Amino acid sequence: MENTIDSGGEQPLLLLVGSSGGHLAQLLALKPWYETWQRCWVTFDTPEAVSLLAGEDLIPAYHPTTRNLRNLLRNTLLAARVLRRRRVAAVVTTGAGVAVPFVVLARLRRIPTVYIEVYDRIDTPTLTARLCRPFLSAMLVQWEEQRRQYPEATVVGTLL
């Protein structure tokens, strides 16, 4: 796994942030959209994530993130470093906890932030979406029913 926070050159890049597993799978489903962009991934250093992102620019995030204040602080410092050292055009995320510091700090730096609510939360919003929502440039959902929680959201259809 690459851990090259300082690489990336001058071309703006997409910062794709997500927990491993289903969150990462939903971001990977966007490949037809992002494949022409220079990009960098932030996710957990799991065997599955490393395998799925082989050859990609990958920065490992700290986990677990659920109720772990130490890793929240560590990921906040990581986000600050990445956003300071990379020329980020936008942050795109499907959550979960690792997304919060990246979204908040990106928005404070006036970098566009896009959150895609996961497909399996139709009736209630995720905690991560609720925390990120005030800092979002765009909220995307996969089901029309999710607009009950997010009336401002754009329905993009299911990713998986």
pLDDT at 3: 44
Owner of token pair 């490393």: 50
Q: Where are the alpha helices (DSSP H) in the chain?
A: 22-28, 31-34, 47-52, 69-85, 99-108, 127-132
Given a cut of 90, whether residue 144 has pLDDT beyond it is yes
**Digit-coded pLDDT (tens) for 19-37:** 999 999 999 999 999 999 9
> Which two three-digit tokens encode residue 76?
């906040």
- Domains, the chain, in order of start with CATH, read 13-155 (3.40.50.2000)
Query: Is 80 exceeded by the pLDDT of residue 4?
Result: no
Cα 4 from Cα 40, distance rounded (Å): 10
pLDDT in tens, 47-97: 999 999 999 999 999 999 888 899 999 999 999 999 999 999 999 999 999
Q: Which residues pair with 18 in a beta bridge?
A: 95
Report pTM.
Answer: 0.91
Q: Provide CB contacts within 8 A for 144, sequence distance 6+.
A: 155
Find the range with the poorest average confidence among 1-5, 57-61, 108-112, 144-148: 1-5
Neighbours of 109 (CB within 10 A): 13
